[in-house]
Copies of this chain bind each other. A is one copy, B any other.
Amino acid sequence: MTADRSQLGDMDPEAFRREAHRVADWIADYLAQSGQYPVLARVRPGEIASALPSEAPATGESFDTIFSDFERVLLPGITHWNHPGFFAYFAITGSAPGILAEFLSAGLNVQAMLWRTSPAATELEEVTLSWLRKLLGLPDIFDGVIYDTASISTLHALAAARERAVPSVRTEGLVGRGTLARMRVYCSDQTHSSIDKAVILLGLGQESLRKIPSDAEFRMRPDALETAIAEDRANAWLPLAVVATVGTTSSTSIDPVPQVAALCRRESIWLHVDAAYAGVAAMVPGYEWILRGAEHADSLVVNPHKWLFTPFDLSVLYCRDMDLVRAAFALTPEYLKTVEAAPVRNLMDTGIQLGRRFRALKLWMVLRHFGADGLRARLAEHMRLARLFASWIDASTDFERLAPVPFSVVCFRALPNAVADADLDAFNERLLESVNATGEIFISHTKLDGRYSLRLAIGNLHTTGHHVSRAWALLQEHATQLQST
């Protein structure tokens, strides 16, 4: 093992250049033609794993060989999130400027734990989150920080709520302290499962999460929330936080944030707003109202990687008092102490993760490349397409809509005359599998009021009216076929 650089360094720079151009072309072709792949991968469980060797190669392989295997072995096992027919879950886009930013970010490989370890990454995060905050119409008291996912953003929000309510928790913890009241977090029965995971992790237990019933349009009922809080107080529970959602995962319903915020202020309870998917719509003229009341929240999460064309992952937590997050977590071992010319923000202080990728770069490039008006127009177009699809459902006697369509997701089901009520769930489940098997579209499902509901979500920049029409044609066609089998 000698120090021969040709053997011990990185890939030869000119080989890298050649391969980078190859990958650039491949991605350019892919983005232009992603609709030609089956959107949902067609492999069987275990098929990809069994096509790969059971050990790493002993000697290095050329990138050419590796890339061939990527195309031959892995690509058939990819579900194409950048396919125009991807209508499942929340449809997202890894847009071109975001992809270029990720490429640069990987090349730089900066780790923004301290200001010093990359001043540009730290300060660009501050600047882009301030841009986004203004676009959303949030007051400037809100300070922002980037995490990977909404699960982690919300976890930090609830940790800050716990820190505020029980400042001793950092040092003394929750266990074995008989004087501490049990704590309660409130959300609706439509709220995302990340809240369950957060209360488990925080040591509060799932029993601490009280799910408030929602109304006919899947919105949290403030009267039920008020009753629950009063009941809990009477039973010596400590109300810790309420999570209100703007754009729930099932039906994209909007909790009545103004009423919930007023209640939280009266009761001195932390209000966290989960606007992970739909929050960005607040920048669209006519949609400012969706974040009404959020100006009184303590924290709010919004995910540019969901519906703001930013490659996964990038979640933003806005917090009225970021010092509470820091109070919960900041600690600086000697090896990370730095002295700077002026006070600086060290991003490692606002979270449990020490290391941080240079994620702000992709948000910055996306915001600049599309521009505020460009983003607004694209979001509005997705909502227009969703309303259009909903209008076809509404006009059809063979389908019915199962929820309002405030944003870009439509919940519906087939309702053919020939199918008995008791068989509708099974019928729609078969319909889902049937249309997904075409490879042209990928939709997902949920349950609303106990009924199996199909979900069509629009959020990819490659999706046009053509793809939405095609989805509708396929659904009608397959529903008809299934009735006759």
Contacts and interface: CB of A to CB of B under 8 A. Distances in A.
A164 interface: no
Given A78-B120, A79-B116, 16 more contacts: A13-B32, A16-B99, A24-B24, A44-B342, A52-B123, A54-B131, A58-B373, A59-B373, A77-B120, A79-B119, A80-B110, A106-B311, A155-B352, A175-B203, A176-B178, A335-B446
Contact of A201 (B108, B120, B199, B202): B202
Nearest to A104: B23
Contacts of A309: 10
Given A41-B119, A124-B52, A377-B1, A110 B81 contact: yes
Interface string A154-194: 01000100100000111111111110111100000000111
A49 interface: yes
A175 B151 contact: no
Q: Which of A76, A193, A250 has the most CB of B within 10 A?
A: A193
Contacts of A206: 170-171, 173
A369 interface: yes
A124 B202 contact: no
A320 interface: no
A334 B250 contact: yes
Contacts of A193: 331-333, 336, 354
A89 interface: yes
A160 to B, nearest CB: 11
Given A92-B109, A126-B49, A23 B100 contact: yes
A82 B108 contact: yes
Interface string A309-339: 1011100000000000000110111111000
A149 B199 CA distance: 21
A47 B123 CA distance: 9
B111 A335 contact: no
Nearest to A73: B120
A175 B182 contact: yes
Contacts of A108: 30, 78, 80-82, 94
A200 B170 contact: yes
B100 A374 contact: no
Contacts of A233: none
Interface in A242-300: 249-250
A118 interface: yes
Interface stretch (A219-227, A378-386, A389-397): A378-386
Contacts of A25: 17, 20
Chain A contact residues: helix, strand, loop or mixed: helix
A210 interface: no
A448 B41 CA distance: 54
Nearest to A118: B79
The 8 closest A-B pairs by CB, nearest first: A203-B203, A173-B205, A94-B109, A77-B120, A20-B24, A11-B96, A102-B106, A17-B28
Contact of A92 (B49, B66, B111): B111
B20 A201 contact: no
B381 A1 contact: yes
Contacts of A332: 193
A43 interface: yes
Given A107-B82, A120-B78, A340 B199 contact: no
Contacts of A151: 352-355
Interface stretch (A400-408, A413-421, A460-468, A473-481): A460-468
Interface string A32-61: 100000001101111111001011111111
Contact of A60 (B55, B159, B176, B374): B374
A82 B95 contact: no
B58 A377 contact: no
Contact of A371 (B60, B111, B169, B201): B60
B120 A75 contact: yes
A135 B374 CA distance: 49
Contacts of A7: 374, 377
Contacts of A32: 13
B58 A372 contact: yes
